[in-house]
Chain A
Amino acid sequence: MNRKDADPQDTSSGKKGNPTAIDYKDQLERDILYALKKPTPLYWGGLALAAGLVIWGAISWSIQIRTGLGVTGLNNPVGWGAYITNFVFWVGIAHSGTLISAILFLFRAKFRSRFNRSAEAMTVFAVMTAGLFPLIHLGRVWFFYWLFPYPNQRYLWVNFRSPLIWDVFAVSTYFTVSAIFFYVGMIPDLAIIRRLKEGIGKRIYSILSMGWVGTIKQWRHYNQLYKFLAALATPLVISVHSVVSWDFAMSVIPGWHTTIFAPYFVAGAIFSGCAMVITLVVPMRKMFRLEKHITVDHFDKLARLLLFTSLIVGYAYIVEYTLAFWSGNVYEEGQFIYRAVGDYAFFYWLMITCNVVLPLTLFVKKLRRNISYLFVLSLFVNVGMWFERFNIIVMSLAHDFDPYNFGFYIPSIIELGITFGSFGWFFMFFLIFAKTLPILSITELKEEVHD
């Protein structure tokens, strides 16, 4: 990577002042248009792979619907397994999208403008993936609407004291708000694509951009709206993963019933989400030749965020053990000894390695600025964070109070199929997004380049 192209202002052939900005703006539009060109065979291959995984997952789910939950490895006492792990994992992935788009916006962190569009898309698709899992976990999925409060002839209402109902409200609100945020952020960019396109494409983007002109009146309302949405999304994102953590913390199971769960889950969510942003943006940047817009410096900043959240997560792991050993509660202590040396110890240490030990290498500047290294590391973090959720859910249930009630769980082939299918589902949507919508926030980048 050439360090020189760190700053877009310096890129164009040494010209000073205004022409640079104009050149950059044209270059940006050309690059965005390039990304929307006819896909390469590599792209089709990726899309076919993702769609294949979705089909595998769909077949697995249809088997489960026809046969019943018995096809899973779930048992008594381990009633929550891979599905709930996937749910928590995907909700977590969604979080850093909102962090990058809303929280870093409020803090005026400039590097966000390089990642925010992909991160927002990731948020929307990850919540769409996460939202499937509570449904997949239902024995009779065709009654899923019982989760919502609606007047019915039996005069029954949902139990608002249940964390599972909080989840319904939190996740559906999160999906709605992040979809609004994603779309609103795109309106001016869709208008730019409308100008660049011809024929039927122009029609489609005209409709999508709702006839945006960019008058000063529109911009003023737009900026206000964006600020409000960011301000609303910030507490929302913290509440959503807190509510997800309360699905566990509100129970009495050792290893779940603890007060640090909410901040611990939120930090873990942002950590895993940052890793997923790197996983998605590195290949996208290469494929669409965005090296000029997303530079090593920007990745460096993201790597620091990854390192910072990794330290919080590592700290939370230590606190969890400390709380358990000073609790004076044999069940709590037993649970944490079980985690380190019990049946699933391999996954526990895998999690520690991926989430705490490997990210420490990011203290080295050279590694932080090495894009291939970051990409590989982000894959490890994704694996580590999946197993963090698996460990919390499965180990606590497999080893609760009464030794007579201890159990063991391994995911069945159906559960694995649906898990891989969910990855396919997520990547499929992301690939479609990358070819049809503006992958960088064009107007924000233009605003940064002053003449």
Chain B
Amino acid sequence: MTDKMTFSKRAEFISKLRELLESGVPPKKLKIVMPHPDHEVDEIVEKYVPPSKLKYFTLAGALSGFIGGFALTIGTVLDWPLITGGKPLISIPAFIVIVFEMTILLGATVSLLGFLILSRLPSFKSIISPEDYGNEFVILMDRRDE
């Protein structure tokens, strides 16, 4: 059984949310839907919910792009050593460009992947029957096990 509270005014929503969290309602029992992001809400929720884990995905992606870039460039010149333009086989300054681009590429794509995993998207249930609350701020509270 869930309680549904809708607010069309942001201020009322924020004070209700603060009240609920301060009264000790576990954040897990609340499903909060907002029509747009809000910094003040973020600040309130931050105290009760651990920060987003997305950064680890970004870091992992960027690092693997960095290492992968060096592996690709150095690996291929060593695979078939062919001197061009009298330059050293392993030309680090030239390879840095490739490494940089691959760092960004994998950093961005893995971040996107992380976002999709963490926020449970695409959600097939919601694609088939969309859950829409318009411009309302909504708090859905799970009343079970009380």
Contact = CB atoms under 8 A, between A and B. Distances in A.
Interface of A: 18, 21-22, 25-26, 149, 155-161, 165-166, 169-170, 172-173, 176-177, 180-181, 184, 187-188, 191, 194-195, 202, 206-207, 209-225, 228-229, 232-233, 235-236, 239, 243, 443-444, 446-447, 450-451
B101 A173 contact: yes
A221 B52 contact: yes
A233 B107 CA distance: 10
Contact of B132 (A156, A176, A194, A224): A194
Contact of B84 (A26, A161, A210, A221): A161
Given A26-B135, A228-B54, A228-B55, A221 B91 contact: no
Contact of A169 (B32, B84, B98, B124): B98
B31 A22 contact: no
Interface in B99-115: 100-102, 104-105, 107-109, 111-112, 114-115
Interface in B101-142: 101-102, 104-105, 107-109, 111-112, 114-116, 118-128, 130-135
Tell me which of B8, B37, B121, B128 has the highest count of chain A C-beta atoms within 10 A of its own C-beta: B37
B38 interface: yes
A169 B45 contact: no
Interface of B: 8-11, 31-38, 41-42, 45, 49, 52, 54-55, 58, 62, 72-73, 76-77, 79-80, 84-85, 87, 91, 94-95, 97-98, 100-102, 104-105, 107-109, 111-112, 114-116, 118-128, 130-135
B21 to A, nearest CB: 11
Nearest to B40: A450
A191 B80 contact: no
A176 B102 CA distance: 11
B37 A160 contact: no
Contacts of A25: 35, 135
Contacts of B121: 187, 210-212, 218
A379 B94 CA distance: 38
A232 B104 contact: yes
Contacts of A166: 94, 97-98, 101
Nearest to A26: B135
Contacts of A169: 97-98, 101-102
A247 to B, nearest CB: 12
Contacts of B31: 215
Given A191-B132, A216-B45, A222-B115, A176 B122 contact: no
Contact of A225 (B45, B62, B115, B128): B115
B81 to A, nearest CB: 11
B10 A224 contact: no
Listed residue (B49, B54, B72, B95) with the most chain A CB atoms within 10 angstroms of its CB? B54
A307 B111 CA distance: 35
Contact of A451 (B10, B49, B84, B100): B10
Contacts of B119: 217-218, 221-222
A447 B40 CA distance: 11
